[in-house]
Chain A
């Protein structure tokens, strides 16, 4: 108390100065209309700023709760996104992606369209006849595909018709591989269910899973590599036990087949002639 009195006694002129200036300014803002309006404006602005700062501070203090709610919401959304992504992957995997890859594979090849004239799936050695022949540029050993996958190979031709050896024939042996790896084998059909064929000669050290895609290997002049054939449905052993024998769910439904395309590769006749000459030399 004494210190306070000493302080006031020492600096009393400051106190008087502040009091007199305060009174003067009070009179100024009270009795002068212009200064009064300025004072009110400044005061309002100051109060508004203080209130804004207070609101901002309150918002900041409640951020913890908001953050907790956002985290909870984020977890729910992340879960929903994961589910949706899985659904999209399931719905688009067999159609869009495969069609796109197949379109890329057959891009640049000459495709000769044809319609199915006769077809069968019940016999051991089925054959298909199409309404396009040599007059359309078709000749033997050409590949045949449809919108969903592989069909077979041209077996005999006439001027306006051709006979196709489809996958559903015991004499059909088409070189195929597992997509994403270089392991290949021969696709055959042993009768029975027309939706399934067998892929033989897959080596024992090959790594694959059920659902992996089977496509043409391109190891012949008949089909370009990458034409979709089907998916691995079951895994088994070959008769001699030295390799795998895979059951393949075929992409082509032969029971409903109507339109096909014959694949004309540019250098196919030249390659076939060379292969025949090589076979002749080996026979000698």
Chain B
């Protein structure tokens, strides 16, 4: 329990630090800003209490807001994505999945994990950029920024999962 908590805390600190020091300075083509801290929600296994995921998501989003000067936007987006995550994972998990199954390429298959992480990052990115623009007056800019950031975030999440999953399999073997 404690190890799990420390592991999640470590992930939280690492993702926030990466966002603060690296990804906040990335603006591909002037539009795409990656927000890979949403990956924190992807590591919660099946059966995790909903309130717990929401609290982790809220704290992570709030910390990123502090370092990104986007107060409230990340927290609200992460909370919504965290609210959806258990339902989504339950829906995407195979029928014979164990109670504490953790989403990965191995458990959900490659495309299954892409769909799972794609939907979750889509919900997060859409909420984030919607709150950021707070209107549809600049629909073109909104669409470009949201789509490019979503794709970039998804790619980074998949890359992190690939690295993490690879290490996990190496440990198991």
Contacts and interface: CB of A to CB of B under 8 A. Distances in A.
B158 interface: no
B72 A20 contact: no
A35 interface: yes
Contact of A12 (B51, B72, B135): B51
B54 A16 contact: yes
B20 interface: no
B135 A28 contact: no
A20 B50 contact: no
Interface stretch (B23-31, B36-44, B76-84): B76-84
Given A20-B79, A24-B61, A13 B72 contact: no
Contacts of A107: none
A29 interface: yes
Contact of A17 (B71, B72, B83, B131): B83
Most chain B CB within 10 A, of A12, A13, A34, A38, is at A13
B143 interface: no
A21 B83 CA distance: 10
Interface string A55-71: 00000000000000000
Interface string A220-247: 0000000000000000000000000000
Given A16-B51, A20-B58, A38 B71 contact: no
Interface residues of A, number: 19
B73 interface: yes
A31 interface: yes
Contact of B134 (A20, A30, A34): A34
B79 A24 contact: yes
Contacts of B75: 20, 23-24, 27
B54 A13 contact: yes
Contacts of A95: none
Interface in A34-79: 34-35, 38
A31 B72 contact: yes
Nearest to B131: A28
Given A34-B134, A35-B134, A38-B134, A28 B76 contact: yes
